[in-house]
């Protein structure tokens, strides 16, 4: 069996890679490069030049060959490598007639816990959505911002006391709205400096958040470790990381309790499995980052199935549009739901998602998806302060 074609596909707000073999098997993967999908597509095409004519089953060798070629990495490159890797595992599972997780050692669980996305632009809207999620059976909610889902197009400024004080009040209001039956996974989107994050976290400890995600920017591991050392709230981070070593360095600093590898960014299933094993050795739990299409969900489920250190992963709703349309930098609304671009999705009941039992990753692209749902580029829009300076959000 040989690889016959490697085809990157920009569809709606996603980048997929389809790999076809001379036996007719076709695997699919996805890149998590978000706003840099065009660059990631170019990297995938370059990887395809190497892969044509190769055995698709020597996955680890292909991973090492592509990753260590010139030793460049970053979001666009690693997103492309992730998509290629997932597609190769998809082919391997189909070739052997089993779900990918059977090739990774077999299941350690029968279903995967999820946290549901809850947001809103006002206190009332968030609380209403929290209650609705609880009524639907979810016992964990995330993407939950104490600073609300404010647009990047509006200049921002609040005095420290108002910014932190209002956010603290919201967290306790969130807890009151759902009681202790729902875990609160607070998302700060890297918008606080370390001193602000420490102050904020200490004031919300009584609300018992499950974790505090991305309290500060991902650039300095020591800053994240400093925050973790000064609060009793577990810290979650890692969705912007794109190598095994990134996670290792932060875990070595005791800077994280829940790691957030994006299977479509860290190097695919091959790398995510290694990261999960490293987390297990370090007594750290794994919460895969999965805001993309159901292809990403399918890949995450393979890791959830085999990883003893898995805790849960995010579920944004398959009947919703792409995340970059809901919270992104443009107002484009094409009415394209996540489930429209694939052949199937996975059922979610009482806060748990089924594990696929079909060969490969268990999902494929819908026929003609590229023609039906043309690519819509995400444009650069960074939030600024009222004084004109750039701020993090």
SS3 352: strand
Give helix then strand counts, H and E, for the chain.
13, 13
Cα-atom radius of gyration of the chain, to the nearest Å?
20
Measured from the Cβ of residue 120, the count of other Cβ atoms closer than 10 Å reads 16
Angle of CA points 61, 65, 71, to nearest 5°: 140
Measured from the Cβ of residue 169, the count of other Cβ atoms closer than 10 Å reads 14
Catalytic residue among 62, 95, 189, 379: 189
- Beta strand pairing status for 183-187 and 313-315? unpaired
Q: Is 189 marked active-site?
A: yes
Q: Measured between alpha carbons, how far is 8 from 71 in angstroms, rounded to an integer?
A: 22
Its sign, for the CA torsion 292, 295, 296, 300, is: positive
CA dihedral 297, 302, 303, 309 (to 10 degrees): 110
Structure tokens belonging to residue 76: 């666009």
Cβ neighbors of 174 (< 8 A, separation 6 or more) are: 126, 127, 130, 144, 146, 184, 207
Distances (CA, A) of 321 to 150, 227, 317, 354: 18, 34, 9, 22
Catalytic residue among 62, 117, 143, 289: 289
Phi, psi of 254 (to 5 degrees): 55, 35
CA dihedral 55, 37, 337, 354 (to 10 degrees): 40
Q: Measured between alpha carbons, how far is 176 from 230 in angstroms, rounded to an integer?
A: 25
How would you class 384 by CB atoms within 10 Å of its CB: exposed for 0-12, middle for 13-18, buried for 19 or more?
middle
Q: Is 289 marked active-site?
A: yes
SS3 26: strand
Task: Measure CA of the first residue to CA of the last residue in the chain; give whole Å.
Answer: 47
List residues with catalytic annotation.
189, 289
């Amino acid at each position: 069996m040989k690889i016959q074609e490697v085809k990157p596909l920009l569809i709606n707000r996603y980048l997929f890679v389809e790999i076809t073999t001379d036996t007719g098997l076709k695997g699919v993967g996805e890149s998590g490069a978000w706003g840099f999908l065009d660059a990631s597509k170019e990297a995938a095409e370059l990887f395809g030049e190497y892969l044509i004519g190769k055995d698709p089953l020597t996955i680890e060798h292909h991973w090492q060959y592509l990753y260590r070629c010139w030793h460049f990495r970053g979001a666009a490159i690693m997103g492309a490598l992730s998509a290629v890797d997932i597609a190769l595992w998809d082919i391997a599972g189909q070739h052997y007639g089993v779900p990918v997780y059977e090739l990774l050692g077999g299941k350690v669980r029968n279903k995967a816990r999820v946290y549901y996305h809850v947001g809103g632009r006002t206190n009332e809207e968030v609380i209403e959505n929290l209650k609705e999620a609880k009524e639907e059976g979810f016992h964990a909610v995330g993407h939950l911002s104490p600073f609300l889902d404010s647009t990047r197009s509006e200049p921002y400024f609040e005095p420290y006391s108002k910014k932190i004080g209002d956010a603290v009040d919201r967290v306790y209001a969130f807890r009151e709205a759902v009681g202790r039956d729902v875990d609160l996974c607070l998302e700060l989107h890297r918008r606080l400096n370390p001193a602000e994050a420490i102050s904020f976290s200490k004031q919300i400890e009584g609300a018992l958040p499950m974790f505090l995600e991305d309290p500060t920017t991902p650039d300095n591991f020591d800053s994240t470790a400093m925050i973790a050392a000064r609060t009793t709230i577990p810290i979650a981070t890692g969705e912007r990381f794109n190598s095994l070593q990134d996670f290792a360095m932060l875990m070595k600093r005791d800077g994280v309790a829940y790691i957030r590898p994006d299977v479509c960014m860290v190097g695919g299933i091959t790398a995510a499995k290694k990261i999960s094993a490293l987390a297990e050795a370090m007594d750290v739990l794994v919460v895969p980052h999965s805001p993309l299409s159901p292809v990403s969900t399918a890949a995450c489920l393979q890791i959830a199935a085999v990883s003893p250190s898995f805790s849960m992963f995010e579920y944004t709703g398959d009947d919703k549009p792409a995340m970059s349309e809901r919270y992104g930098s443009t107002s484009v609304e094409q009415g394209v739901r996540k489930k429209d671009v694939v052949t199937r999705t996975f059922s979610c009941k009482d806060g748990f998602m089924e594990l696929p039992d079909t060969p490969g990753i268990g999902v494929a692209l819908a026929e003609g998806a590229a023609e039906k749902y043309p690519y819509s580029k995400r444009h650069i829009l960074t939030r600024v302060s009222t004084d004109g300076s750039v701020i993090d959000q």
